[in-house]
């Protein structure tokens, strides 16, 4: 499938990126302050978890690609071999 990631928009994460708060957070984490780093990671992951629920659906054109069936022999081919054949087709 194509364009699956373009189906939702999160205004809070958009503003986060627009204001450059991700770069500020990364800069603070690079300072390696012993008590701020773990606290900031915990706070950021908790906020990220709750913020991701606020998404606005956007109409997008989805494309489903259907190809020829993959031929394999279950007695000889492993899962990795079959998935590699699938990627090549």
Over residues 20-52, the pLDDT tens digits come to 988 888 888 888 888 888 888 888 888 888 888
Give the pLDDT confidence score for residue 5 in this predicted structure: 64
- Kindly provide the residue ranges of all beta strands, DSSP E only, lying in 14-81, ordered along the sequence: 56-57
Q: Residue 83 — very low, low, confident or very high, per pLDDT cuts 50/70/90?
A: low
Computed on alpha carbons and rounded to an integer, the radius of gyration of the chain in Å comes to 21
Other C-beta atoms closer than 10 Å to the C-beta of 51 total 14
Tokens linked to 33: 């302050």
Does this model's pTM top 0.85? My answer is: no
Judge whether 65 and 23 are in contact, CB under 8 Å. Answer: no
What mean pLDDT is reported for the chain? Answer: 79
Angle, helix 21-30 to helix 11-18, in steps of 10 degrees: 60
């Amino acid at each position: 499938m194509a364009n699956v990631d373009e189906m939702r928009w999160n205004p809070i994460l958009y503003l986060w990126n627009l204001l450059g708060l991700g770069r500020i957070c990364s800069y603070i984490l690079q300072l390696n302050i012993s008590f701020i780093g773990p606290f900031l990671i915990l706070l950021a992951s908790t906020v990220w978890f709750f913020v991701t629920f606020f998404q606005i659906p956007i109409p997008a054109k989805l494309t489903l690609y259907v190809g020829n069936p993959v031929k394999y022999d279950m007695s000889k081919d492993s899962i990795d071999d079959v998935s590699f054949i699938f990627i090549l087709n």
